Copies of this chain bind each other. A is one copy, B any other.
Amino acid sequence: MIESTAETVRDTTAEEVDAIATAAAAAAAPWAAMALTDRAAVLRGVADRLDAHAAELVPLAMRETHLAEPRLLGELRRTSFQLRLFAQLVLDGDFLDVRIDTADPEWPMGAPRPDLRRMNVALGPVVNFAASNFPFAFSVAGGDTASALAAGCPVIVKASPGHPLLSRAVGNLIDQTLAEYGAPGRTFGLVFGRDAGVRALTHPAVAAAAFTGSTAGGRALYDLASRRPVPIPFYGELGSINPVFVTPEAAGTQAAEIASGLLTAVSASAGQLCTKPGLVAIPEEAPLFSALAELIRERPVPTGEMLNAEIAGGFARAVERVRAHPNVELLAGGGPDEAMLLATTARTVLKDPDALLHEMFGPATLLVSYRHTGELLELARSVGGQLTVSIFGDRVDDTVRALTAAAVSAAGRVLWNSWPTGLSVTFAQQHGGPYPATTAPTTTSVGTAAIARFLRPVTYQSVPEDLLPLELRTDNPLSVPRSVNGARPR
């Protein structure tokens, strides 16, 4: 049963946070020690409960976030799918990265090699700061929670203030599932309020944290995590402009597709996506420019209401900051709950990147006109760390190759003739990138590789069989994949 009748959820007190963190620390060893099949069953159990309660959860999410029903139904499906994908990952065992080196008296290093057996273990309690814009997929039972639980870590979620009742309802479903499978009850905890989040992050029992949100908020938490007496890994997914570079050729031949695709990508979910394209470079005087303006003038693109007043206020301030620049004009749109196109020149952006390479989290994008491909390339090399860079082109030529090289330097994901919104949850996904896109460029927060953030390796040296964990025993009773003496795992 979902409890969701209360109208507000009060902030968690400092004493309650301490109790939750201490309980999570106590749950760490038993949760990590549960059989992988049980761990996978819990993840699937949460997925099943989410699906079973869709009829209650989705309306609750609609009320708290103003997002539309189809979007939320799709997001819920994505969320339960994601939990099941991590369950499968747990069963496959590859995430353990088991490596066995047999003793070798002739090891050419110059000293005999002892028997060494290495596997990943859970890092310990993780604090996840939930995002406001994906009330299911990046929130209480979202990717950070799924990957940390899959790694064997207890999870404390700091709920988004944007959907507290939904957060509590989903938290209850997780609690029920843990109880059903006999997992330690405090493997999962939920806290509300900014102070509670900070207290959890700085609690000595906490071993890592994940965050999805703004650059300013994420950096402040990263600083807290790094300044602890015992610093901890902080996996922050912060801001990204997700630049789109349109070659002169594509601006002609693909004008209609790019125009309509851009308007969809900018307006979907009221532009409140971390992968929303916020800068689109187009050759000056390209037909695409006027096509876009006309399209949006003829038929304004409705976006729906924003998530909440705080997000709407932040968006208004970000837009104001960009519009205040003397060389930026409002090209079209921008009425209430309507997509907005701003315009400037590549020269302007290159002269004043700090003012203009600034995320507007909402339904707006900045069209940047360039005079020649040299300017386009200069722009591409100046955008800084990004989650995504998209290139629209007709053929692979030197300009496109140079754009791609710049994109790979800047971003975690590089797209060709496609829009970065609509992030697939799968094996080869990379949702990350150099700072400020994230605080941890070697990791991803979406896709199966996200589990690696919450694992650390331990090597057992010359440990007898009956003292080894099952994963490392010579007869491999769990049949986990293993790499022996450097060979590929099997």
Identify the A interface with B (CB < 8 A).
Answer: 29, 74, 77-78, 81-82, 94, 99-101, 107-111, 113-114, 116-118, 121, 123, 207, 222-223, 226-227, 230-233, 385, 396, 400-401, 404-405, 408-409, 411-418, 422, 424-430, 432-436, 439-442, 444, 448-449, 452-453, 455-464, 466-467, 481, 483, 485-486, 488-490
Which single member of B461, B481, B488 contacts A414 (CB below 8 Å)? B461
A457 near B412 with CB under 8 A, answer yes
A486 near B427 with CB under 8 A, answer yes
Distance A440 CA – B413 CA, assembled complex (angstroms): 25
Which single member of B108, B109, B422, B490 contacts A111 (CB below 8 Å)? B422
28 A-B residue contacts at CB 8 Å? A29-B405, A29-B409, A77-B109, A78-B111, A81-B109, A99-B427, A99-B428, A99-B449, A113-B424, A113-B426, A116-B426, A117-B428, A207-B434, A231-B435, A231-B439, A396-B466, A396-B467, A412-B457, A413-B460, A414-B459, A414-B463, A415-B462, A415-B463, A416-B461, A426-B486, A427-B486, A428-B459, A434-B456
Which residues of B are found within 8 Å of A232, using beta-carbon distances? 435
Which single member of B222, B415, B467 contacts A404 (CB below 8 Å)? B467
Which single member of B114, B233, B452 contacts A418 (CB below 8 Å)? B114
* A121 → B minimal CB distance (Å): 6
Distance A457 CA – B459 CA, assembled complex (angstroms): 25
Q: Known A396-B467, A435-B231; judge A418-B94 contact (CB<8 A).
A: no
**Stoichiometry (number of copies):** 2
Which residues of B are found within 8 Å of A99, using beta-carbon distances? 427-428, 449
B467 near A116 with CB under 8 A, answer no
Which residues of B are found within 8 Å of A78, using beta-carbon distances? 109-111
A462 near B416 with CB under 8 A, answer yes
B110 near A458 with CB under 8 A, answer no
Which residues of B are found within 8 Å of A490, using beta-carbon distances? 488
Distance A207 CA – B410 CA, assembled complex (angstroms): 12
3 nearest CB pairs, A to B: A430-B459, A226-B226, A99-B428
Nearest CB in chain B to that of A404: its residue: B467
Q: Known A409-B29, A416-B464, A467-B396; judge A111-B440 contact (CB<8 A).
A: no
B109 near A442 with CB under 8 A, answer no
A233 near B466 with CB under 8 A, answer no
A488 near B481 with CB under 8 A, answer yes
A441 near B123 with CB under 8 A, answer yes
Distance A489 CA – B436 CA, assembled complex (angstroms): 32
Distance A433 CA – B207 CA, assembled complex (angstroms): 12
* A405 → B minimal CB distance (Å): 7
* A377 → B minimal CB distance (Å): 14
B101 near A459 with CB under 8 A, answer no
Distance A455 CA – B399 CA, assembled complex (angstroms): 26
A107 near B424 with CB under 8 A, answer yes
A412 near B458 with CB under 8 A, answer yes
Distance A226 CA – B236 CA, assembled complex (angstroms): 13
Which residues of B are found within 8 Å of A463, using beta-carbon distances? 404, 414-416
Distance A425 CA – B101 CA, assembled complex (angstroms): 11
A442 near B413 with CB under 8 A, answer no
Which residues of B are found within 8 Å of A109, using beta-carbon distances? 77-78, 81-82, 424-426
Distance A467 CA – B483 CA, assembled complex (angstroms): 33
Which residues of B are found within 8 Å of A436, using beta-carbon distances? 230
Which residues of B are found within 8 Å of A207, using beta-carbon distances? 434, 441
Distance A442 CA – B82 CA, assembled complex (angstroms): 23
A430 near B118 with CB under 8 A, answer yes
* A278 → B minimal CB distance (Å): 18
User: Given A109-B426, A118-B449, 11 other A-B contacts at CB below 8 A?
Assistant: A78-B110, A81-B108, A101-B429, A109-B425, A113-B426, A123-B442, A223-B226, A223-B227, A416-B462, A442-B457, A449-B457
Which residues of B are found within 8 Å of A458, using beta-carbon distances? 408, 411-414, 430
Which residues of B are found within 8 Å of A29, using beta-carbon distances? 405, 409
